Amino acid sequence: MTAPRPYALLAEITYRCPLHCPYCSNPVAASLCEAPRRPPGGGYSNGELTTEEWKRVIRGAAALGVLQIGFSGGEPLARRDLVELIGCAHETNVYTNLITSGIGLDDDRLHALCDAGLDSIQLSFQSDEPNLADEIAGARAHERKLDVAAKIRAARIPLSLNLVIHRRNIDRLPQMIDLAETLEAERIELANVQFYGWAFLNRAALLPTRDQVARAREVAMAAKARLAGKMDIFYVLPDYYETRPKPCLNGWGQRYLTVNPVGDVLPCPTASSAIPDLRFENVRTRELDWIWRESESFNRFRGTEWMPEPCQSCPQREIDFGGCRCQAALLTGNAANTDPVCTLSPKRTVVDAFLSHTNLSSDHRTDWTYRVNPRRLAI
């Protein structure tokens, strides 16, 4: 089928990060396996794309029609060439967003990023409560983040806060919204944890109970009404508790693409770890344009022809696109299945069993495995 034009690129420029959040969506294997070898012709010794390679990706994405680039990771500030990459994106007229923990963002760096044309910043917080926030991050980070938020305000760059919501912090939703108000953020994303990467590994410790989710939804909706016109509240639903799947990516290979630190081009950032039988192309060996339009990985789930029943004859198939391919792969072992979050899926029992365990068992797991950094970090 003919490929549409993409709107946004997620540039995951490094997996390195000073935080260790147990819900990180980065692939667990990126940390636990041996890092890729140094590429022929030079480059980062941990396999990361070089500055020039990233610039080629950025220009290629703009030529494909991309209008927005999110610089993410890991922690994108861990790359010393971040300012240069933002500058390159700005030159191509693309809107840039820095998705960051804030750690490493001092005045000099912030001003250099502004001068390079950075358009907006999304800053993560783990909680409003310092001790809990630092416990979740696995690092002393909260106080520094507050300081960084104030710096961003002073620099007059639009600020979004991102808070991942899970069992340990969901009851503090009102206080977390207060934090965003205090920091004068334009936008807050309250994202119920989605189970990929480290979060999938830790899901027994992260999934909130049904009662917690119901309360949180009310808090979020009330805050949305109260703060309308002042601060946008974007509430990401906890999809295990839904009856229909999320319209993941607005359809596979329709609007978004991701390039990971070593140059693999992915329809979705979690696809490389969740769907092991799909082979992804790399910008070192293929042009971005070809990968987007022609590659097997981008075409496998494009459109609706690939869909099995009950999706194929479902009136919702152009609304939710069968849900999330990664979730289908992780929970049913086959990425081409209906997302098992859908109650019409024959595999919904997998989700229900997990929900029952969380809601009925008194034996709640509270321990989690912290994300660790990739090996061989020396650059």
Partner 1 sequence: MRATTISDSARPILAKGVRLQIDSTTSKGVLLYPEGIVELNETAHQILSRCDGRTLGEIVCELAEEYEGDSNALATDVRDTLCDLERRKLIEFK
Contacting positions for partner 1 (CB under 8 A): 5, 7-8, 65, 67-68, 70, 93, 95, 97, 119-120, 122, 156-158, 160, 186-187, 229, 232
CB of 11 to partner 1, least distance (A): 14
How far does Cα 255 stand from its chain's mean position?
15
Identify which of residues 20 and 187 has a Cβ nearer to partner 1 in the complex: 187
DSSP, residue by residue, 286-348: S-HHHHHHH-HHHHTTSSSTTPPTTTTT-TTHHHHTTS-HHHHHHHHS-TTSPPTTSTTSTTH
Minimum distance between the CB of residue 187 and partner 1, rounded to whole angstroms? 6
Among candidate residues 365, 368, 337, the one with its CA nearest the CA of residue 351: 337
Residue 120 beta carbon to partner 1: minimum distance, rounded to whole angstroms: 4
Going by C-beta distance under 8 Å and a sequence separation of 6 or more, which residues neighbour residue 250?
A: 256, 321
CB of 50 to partner 1, least distance (A): 27
How far apart CA 58 and CA 64 sit, in angstroms, is 10
The label of the residue with tokens 């974007």 reads 234
Is 232 in contact with 186 (CB distance < 8 Å)? yes
Residues in the chain: 379
Task: Specify the residue, 41 or 229, whose C-beta has the smaller distance to partner 1.
Answer: 229
Q: Residue 53 CB, nearest distance to partner 1 (Å)? A: 23
CB nearer to partner 1: pick between 233 and 329: 233
Place of tokens 């520094």: 144
Nearer to partner 1, 7 or 370 (CB): 7
35/376 Cα distance (integer angstroms): 7
Nearer to partner 1, 94 or 311 (CB): 94
What whole-number distance in Å separates Cα of residue 208 and Cα of residue 193? 9
Question: Can you tell me whether residue 70 is helix, strand or coil?
Answer: strand
For the bound state, the minimum distance from the C-beta of residue 247 to partner 1, rounded and expressed in Å, comes to: 16
Give, as one character, the DSSP assignment of residue 171. G
Question: Which of residues 57 and 207 has its CB atom nearest to partner 1 in the complex?
Answer: 57
CB of 87 to partner 1, least distance (A): 16
* CB nearer to partner 1: pick between 72 and 345: 72
